[in-house]
A and B are shown apart, each in its own frame.
Chain A
Amino acid sequence: MDQQEILAGFSPERANLLPLLHALQDNHPQNYLTGESLNAVARHLKVNLSWVYGVAGYYSMFSLKPRGRYVIRVCNSPVCNMLGSSGIIEALSGILGIGKGETTPDGLFTVEEAECLGICDLAPAMMVNRTVYGNLTKESLKEIIDELRIIKKGQK
């Protein structure tokens, strides 16, 4: 969707700042907020760019840097951590050859460490874009990544 179309879907009130940032980020193939989109939001809501930048930089779901098509957020909060999330992050780094906060050279995957995702009954767990994966093991992890590599287009 065109950026202008997205902006037009939100009335110009400040309470729409977070929803707007979500919509613009979700719309970008690299899952991030460009400088240009922050400017457009500031103009649309008639607030300073610094305000928009300050908000976008505060919340962990927003990224100001390009990310992969699939953003993998591994939960590392106390419950997942107790049930082995550190091993999952390590295994993921091994499979993809990247560390936390990095993106694979083909632009397909970004690995992030997340705080509690609210799926503790499935710990250790992670989210890939909007999809939840739980009860992770090193084996299931490999299968998930292989599958995503095949789908490539994927659902967002």
Chain B
Amino acid sequence: MIKEKRLILKNSGVIDPLSIKDYIDSGGYKALSKALTGTPEKVVEEVMSSGLRGRGGAGFPTGVKEQTTAGKKEGKISYVVCNADEGEPGTFKDRVIMESDPHLLVEGMILAAYGIGAEKGYIYIRGEYYDSIAKLKNAIRQAYESGYLGSNILGSGFTFDLEIKPGAGSYLCGEELTLLESLEGKRGYPRIKPPFPAEKGLWGKPTLVNNVETLANLPGIIGQGSEWYRSSGTDRTPGTKVFSICGDVKKPGCYEVDAGVILNDLINDLAGGTINGQPWKAVLLGGAAGTFVPFSFSDLSLCYERLKERGATLGSGAVIVIGSDRKLIPLMQSILRFFRHESCGKCVPCRLGTTFIYESSIRLGEADHDARILIVEEIVNHSREMAKSSLCPLGQSPVLPLGTLQIHFTETIASE
């Protein structure tokens, strides 16, 4: 039996999320006091040696991002932006962090800002997360009152202001450059990459964009050191990961464990196993823009290196369990309908492509066994072209679930 290892969710359900006193009593804002006695470079170095990788989906080394952003600054203005626009289907870990321990994110942002020398930060949060917004607003107000935000923080001479900006229901705004467009008060259209945000981000200034869970790791790393952090997880995916498990399991929810946990242990020991008690048919790892794995992958270790070897992704940490009695065609159609709906329409391959692959998937229902194999092949080929020619990750994503469906489940789909 595996157990949870709560580093990020340690206060979750334990302290009152509306009380800064509770947070401080549990050791909160100690990392910030410690960081402010040292140099900003020390913060970045610590994050760098912790090996922390971005928890939003891409898994980019956070320390490298911080260093690059700090390096681009040269006395100019720079920003820290928290990507709290959690919209990947099956993902709700950031909501749980923000609702149950908002000060952890606030402290993480101040630490990141100190590291890169930013004086202004924004939390771009999805508009539907009313509870998270309320809790964070309260936390920010309390942090100002206690001298953790504003000018001359704790007498250090460092100044940092933090604000919340709500999104308004666009999946695409979870993509970092599109998020910045939206923050600037525009339609959520992606920008051409590069330049990356570290170079030209918000209002053209160097910007560090990090996911909620990534930033929530900073107080631990700075407070207890990178060596302590590396004692969790694997060599190349240090730390813990918060997985959001849903679908056909008895106890859906968020579970924090050492990175590298075995997939089936996560499902059976923590999420209570499948609803019907039978071995699962498939798991969709990482949400709609994630990868399908069959039951033969149940021994899979959930860390970047092992997943990559076997053609799967960790993504946001969504684990969508599909029970033995489910059909895959309706799920595939639902995923493609989602992409069609969320395509912004800016670039042609994605605008037309998402519609084309969705409509092709509708034909699967009436097709016979052999025709289905051909349709799946056609859809996958098309999604590959889209991945090559689309402007942003949305058009590049359908190939992930579709390609892995084809590899592992063509016969299942053909005979459903």
Q: Which residues of A line the B interface, CB within 8 A?
A: 13-19, 21-22, 45, 54-55, 58-62, 73, 76-79, 81-83, 114-123, 127, 130
- For residues 173 through 192 of chain B, which have their beta carbon under 8 Å from a beta carbon of chain A? 182-188
A18 near B185 with CB under 8 A, answer: yes
Stretch at the interface among B2-10, B55-63, B154-162, B246-254: B246-254
Residues of B within 8 A of A130 (CB): 130
Contact A14–B184 (Cβ < 8 Å) = yes
Question: Smallest Cβ distance from B188 to chain A, in angstroms?
Answer: 6
Tell me the number of A-to-B contacts counted with CB atoms below 8 Å. Answer: 130
Beyond contacts A119-B92, A120-B320, A123-B247: 17 other A-B pairs, Cβ-Cβ < 8 A, are: A14-B184, A15-B165, A19-B166, A55-B186, A59-B169, A61-B169, A76-B334, A78-B89, A79-B90, A79-B320, A81-B330, A81-B331, A114-B169, A115-B171, A118-B86, A121-B245, A123-B246
> Which residue of chain B has the shortest Cβ distance to A21 in the bound complex?
B168
Question: Do B288 and A120 touch across chains, with their CB atoms under 8 A apart?
Answer: no
- Residue in chain A with minimal CB distance to B341: A115
Taking CB atoms, residues of chain A closer than 8 Å to B320 are 78-79, 82, 120
Does the CB pair A120–B246 fall under 8 Å? yes
Q: Is the CB of B188 within 8 A of A116?
A: no
- When chains A and B are docked, how far (Å) is the Cα of A14 from the Cα of B203? 11
Contact A120 B244 (CB under 8 A): yes
Q: Are A22 and B127 in contact (CB under 8 A)?
A: yes
Contact between chains at A115 and B338 (CB < 8 Å)? yes
Most buried by A among B92, B171, B288: B92
- Answer whether A18 and B167 are a contact pair too, CB < 8 Å, given A77-B338, A118-B95: yes
16 contacts across the A-B interface (CB closer than 8 A)? A14-B186, A15-B185, A17-B185, A54-B187, A55-B186, A55-B187, A73-B128, A77-B338, A82-B247, A114-B169, A115-B89, A115-B338, A118-B95, A121-B244, A121-B254, A122-B252
Residues of B within 8 Å of A118, CB to CB, are 86-87, 91-92, 95, 126, 128-129
Q: A117 CA to B86 CA in the complex, in Å?
A: 9
Tell me whether B326 is interfacial, beta carbon within 8 Å. Answer: yes
In angstroms, Cα B186 to Cα A16, docked, is: 10
Q: What residue in chain A is nearest B173 (Cβ atoms)? A: A59
Task: State whether the Cβ of B322 lies closer than 8 Å to any Cβ in chain A.
Answer: yes
- The 8 Å CB contact of B168, one of A60, A77, A115, A119, is A60
Alpha-carbon distance A90/B87, docked complex (angstroms): 24
Q: Known contacts A18-B168, A61-B168, A82-B326: does B185 contact A55 (CB below 8 Å)? A: yes
Residue in A closest to B186 when the chains form the complex, CB atoms: A55
Kindly identify, within residues 314 to 343 of chain B, every residue whose CB is under 8 Å from any CB belonging to chain A.
318, 320, 322, 326, 330-331, 334-335, 338, 341-342
Docked pose: A54 CA to B181 CA in angstroms? 13
In B271-299, the 8 Å CB interface with A consists of 284, 288
Which B residue sits closest to A73, measured CB to CB? Answer: B128
- The reply on B214 being an interface residue by CB < 8 A is no
Least CB separation from B130: chain A residue: A130
Closest beta carbon of chain B to A65's beta carbon, Å = 16
* CB-CB under 8 A for A59 and B92, given A78-B288, A118-B87, A118-B128: no
Complex: chain A residue closest to B128, CB-CB: A117
Q: Is B240 an interface residue when CB atoms closer than 8 A count as contact?
A: no
Kindly name the residue among A16, A19, A22, A45 whose own CB sees the greatest number of chain B CB atoms within 10 A. Answer: A19
Contacts of B127 in A (CB 8 A): 18, 22, 59, 61
Closest A residue by C-beta to B86: A118
Give chain B nearest CB distance to A67 CB in angstroms.
14
Q: How far is A83 from B247 in the complex, measured between Cα atoms in Å?
A: 7
Decide yes or no whether B170 CB sits under 8 A from chain A: yes
B88 in contact (CB, < 8 A)? yes
Please report which residues of chain B, range 65-96, place their CB below 8 angstroms from some CB of chain A when the two chains form the complex: 86-92, 95
Q: Report A-chain residues with C-beta under 8 Å of the C-beta of B186.
A: 14, 55
Interface string of B229-247 (1 = CB under 8 A from A): 0000000000000001111
Is there contact, CB below 8 Å, between A79 and B187? Answer: no
Residues of A within 8 A of B89 (CB): 77-79, 115-116, 120
Residue contact A78 to B338, C-beta cutoff 8 Å: yes
User: Given the complex of chains A and B, what is the CA–CA distance between A22 and B165 in angstroms?
Assistant: 11
Given A14-B184, A15-B184, A77-B334, A120 contacting B168 (CB threshold 8 A): no
A18 to B318, CA, bound (A): 28
Q: How far is the CA of A100 from the CA of B341 in the complex (A)?
A: 15
The interface residues of chain B lying within 8 Å CB-to-CB of A55 are 185-187
Q: Which residues of A contact B188 (CB under 8 A)?
A: 58-59
What is the bound-complex CA distance between A80 and B127, given in angstroms? Answer: 19
Bound together, the chains give a CA A17 to CA B168 distance in angstroms of 11
Q: Do A62 and B92 have beta carbons less than 8 Å apart?
A: no
CB distance from A71 to the nearest CB of B (A): 11
Residue of A nearest to B245 (CB): A121
If the complex has contacts A22-B166, A61-B128, are A121 and B253 also in contact, measured as CB distance less than 8 A?
yes
Question: Once bound together, how far apart are the Cα atoms of A127 and B128, in whole Å?
Answer: 9
Q: Which residue of B lies closest to A116 (CB)?
A: B89
Distance between A34 CB and nearest chain B CB, rounded to angstroms? 17
Cα separation A54 to B129 with both chains bound (whole Å): 24
- The CA-CA distance from A100 to B169 in the complex, in Å, is 17
Given contacts A55-B186, A62-B168, is CB(A121)–CB(B326) below 8 Å? no
